């Protein structure tokens, strides 16, 4: 199993643990409230969605990654979503570690 698959499995575990927020509006709200540790944005998201989320993450200094497709993110969290935010610091650190290597 490669790191990409491990990251998606970990995202699924974080979802089952209730440590994920998904959907553009809710993620933006939690970014503003600084409740999100890491944001995963679908690489096939629209230019408008991409700009809005990357600008907001940049302003609040929250890491934002676009490595997975909408289908991959949706399968991992069990909902059709373009973006999700990880609220738990431990899950966020492990995901960042898997994504970076």
The pTM of the full predicted model, rounded to 2 decimals, is 0.93
- Give all domains of the chain, ordered by start, each with its CATH number: 3-100 (3.30.1330.30)
As a whole number of angstroms, the distance between CA 92 and CA 87 comes to: 7
Q: CB under 8 Å to 39, separation ≥6 — which residues?
A: 27, 31, 53, 57, 62, 63, 64, 65, 83, 84, 85, 86
pLDDT tens per residue, range 54-88: 999 999 999 999 999 999 999 999 999 999 999 99
pLDDT score recorded for residue 1:
82
Residue among 98, 83, 95, 8 nearest 51 (CA): 83
């Amino acid at each position: 199993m490669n790191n990409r698959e491990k990251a998606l499995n970990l995202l699924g575990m974080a979802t089952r643990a209730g440590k994920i927020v998904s959907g553009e509006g809710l993620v933006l709200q939690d970014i503003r409230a600084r409740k999100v540790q890491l944001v995963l944005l679908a690489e096939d998201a629209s230019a408008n969605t991409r700009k809005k989320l990357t600008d907001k993450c940049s302003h609040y200094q929250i890491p934002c990654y676009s490595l997975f497709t909408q289908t991959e993110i949706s399968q991992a969290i069990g909902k059709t979503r373009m973006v999700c935010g990880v609220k738990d610091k431990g899950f966020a650190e492990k995901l960042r570690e898997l994504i970076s290597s």
